[in-house]
Structure 1
Amino acid sequence: MATSTAAKAPLPSGIVSYEDYIAKNKVKAPSNTMDQSAFLTLFTTQLKNQNPLDPVKNEAFVAQLAQFSQLEATSSMKNSMETMVKSLEGDKMLAGAAMIGRRVAVPNGPLILLGGQPVEANVDLATGADGVQMKVFDEKGQLVRKQIFGAQPIGPMRLTWDGYNDNGAAMPDGTYTMQVLASSMGKALQPTVNTLSTVRSVSNAGTGDNTWLLEVDGGKSVNMTDVKRIAY
């Protein structure tokens, strides 16, 4: 049976068909401004004004409904993703805020001597060491204490500075740094020293990748993901 080629009846002034609406906005970025109500208005207007001699086929109606459903689903998924990202950012901020006032182990952090109490640190030895040397420096970079340890197995090694210099005199409270040197089969190693510092504040790095920074003792900022341990 031949298909009728009769022209479609013109739409009332101010009303456009759904196909015209889509064609007009094709070059634009996907828009969420066409909600369900607007779609239904266009859809029912098209039904009322279709040419009775050449009605829109059922397949075309189904295609339009499917297209709108897909658009609505995409919009819903986008909104859900944005909500999830904001939720994750909020969760990370709350996690960082919960660390304020707590002591955390951070790489290459300062040693804070307070009240003459021993200061702890640790290193992770990637290989067994024939010997380990610990050095403590004051804020001026002067060496105040050096300790030598024997052979150590692979894995974490706990270090403690008692707050005294090499002459046995108590050092004043303040900020110090620790350096650890190790040797393995004649090869010199310098493992990262993890020290305990108190978290003073938390802030967003502003890099757009949900990176949060912790400000610890000595004004040092560390990535939250670099925290090795939280002291209770």
Structure 2
Amino acid sequence: MMTTVSNTSGSSYIDSLKGVNDGAKKEDSGALTQSDFFALLTQQLAFQDPTKPVENDQMIAQMTSFTMADGISSLNTNFKDFAASMNSNQALQASSLVGRNVRVNSDTLIFDGTNKSYGAIEVPGKTTSMKVSIYDASGALVKSDTVSNPDEGKFELAWDGTNEAGVKQTAGLYTMKIDATVDGKSQSLVTSSYVPVASVTLGTSTADMKLNLLGLGAKKMSDILEIAAG
């Protein structure tokens, strides 16, 4: 008489992987955990062909592969947590800039009708003279001044908001232009201005974060050349 043997233990194990346990269905993320791997490995060893057992190097390779995959998965999770923490710190630091002045490359001067407006120029070597000109929104010249033999490097200028006659101008946006004589040749110099930070726009990463500058619109954090003292 031939006897049929039912592999109940293997079936029970397969059912447990499917989340079936006495009729209760567990929530499954779809990914095998370390416990699942070792359970599978145990089943593999239990049902292997006794005449062709698994080689030790194959078993070690399987365990090493899973350990590496599990480590990479944990590293990715930790990195995401770290990135989220960095973004939060960046957002907190950026929010502290609201109301402060930052320097960006621009030829625009912001005049509030009362306080001085500040700009800056990087003066190249062998500069013998500079002519600083300020224009209103219509393009009319408001004021000009000449600086002889300026020192090489950063040169800061301050405009009190008056024209050539000493009359205070209205609040608004003005344009500065710097014409210089460098090594005997005429050229225009790149200007920058100090502008108040009105607000901060937060993005999904630090690269998306923007500072909204009064009169100049949104600028990236990488566009900021200098943060003025509060």
Task: Give the TM-score taking structure 1 as reference length.
Answer: 0.79
C-alpha spacing 1:223/1:190, structure 2 compared with 1 (3 Å): farther
**Identical amino acids, percent of aligned pairs:** 26
The CA distance in 2 between the partners of 1:141 and 1:83, in whole Å, is 52
The CA distance in 1 between the partners of 2:202 and 2:187, in whole Å, is 34
1:230 equivalent in alignment to 2:220? no
Q: How many residues align?
A: 208
Task: State how 1:152-191 maps to structure 2 within 5 Å.
Answer: 152-191=150-189
Paired position in structure 2 for 1:41: 39
Is the Cα–Cα contact under 8 Å of residues 199 and 211 in structure 2 kept in the other structure?
yes
Paired position in structure 1 for 2:78: 80
1:92 equivalent in alignment to 2:100? no
The CA distance in 2 between the partners of 1:128 and 1:214, in whole Å, is 36
Superposed displacement of residue 128, structure 1: 3.4
Superposed displacement of residue 58, structure 1: 1.9
C-alpha spacing 1:94/1:157, structure 2 compared with 1 (3 Å): same
Listed as ranges, the gaps of 5+ residues in structure 1 are 1-8, 17-31
Paired position in structure 1 for 2:218: 221
AA aligned to 2:146 is I
Is the Cα–Cα contact under 8 Å of residues 87 and 206 in structure 2 kept in the other structure?
no
Cα RMSD (Å): 2.6
Superposed displacement of residue 205, structure 1: 6.7
C-alpha spacing 1:175/1:152, structure 2 compared with 1 (3 Å): same
Determine which structure has the larger strand proportion and give its number. 2
Moved more, 167-176 or 208-217: 208-217
Superposed displacement of residue 170, structure 1: 1.4
Which residue among 94, 101, 104 is the counterpart of 2:102? Answer: 104
| Runs of 4+ residues deviating >6 angstroms | none
Partner of 1:96: helix, strand, or coil? helix
Task: Give the TM-score taking structure 2 as reference length.
Answer: 0.79
Superposed displacement of residue 13, structure 1: 4.9
The CA distance in 2 between the partners of 1:77 and 1:128, in whole Å, is 54
C-alpha spacing 1:80/1:190, structure 2 compared with 1 (3 Å): farther
Paired position in structure 2 for 1:19: none
The CA distance in 2 between the partners of 1:116 and 1:209, in whole Å, is 35
C-alpha spacing 1:218/1:169, structure 2 compared with 1 (3 Å): same
